[in-house]
Amino acid sequence: MHEMALAESIRDLIDAQAAREGFRRVCTVELEIGRLAIVDVPALRFALDIALRDTIAGGAELVIDEPSGQALCMQCSNSVELAQRGDACPDCGGYQLTVTDGDQMRVSGLVVE
Show the low-confidence residues of the chain (pLDDT under 50).
Answer: none
pLDDT for 31: 98
Domain count, the chain: 1
The whole-angstrom separation of Cα 66 and Cα 105 is: 9
Residue 1: the pLDDT is: 57
> Looking at residue 23, what is its pLDDT?
94
How many C-beta neighbours within 10 Å does residue 77 have?
9
Alpha-carbon span 71 to 47, nearest angstrom: 29
How far is the C-alpha of 85 from the C-alpha of 19, rounded, in Å?
38
**In which domain, by residue range, is 21 found?**
2-112
What confidence tens digit (pLDDT) does each residue in 44-57 have? 999 999 999 999 99
CATH of the domain at 58: 3.30.2320.80
Instruction: Determine the Cα–Cα distance for residues 26 and 55; give it in Å rounded to an integer.
Output: 9
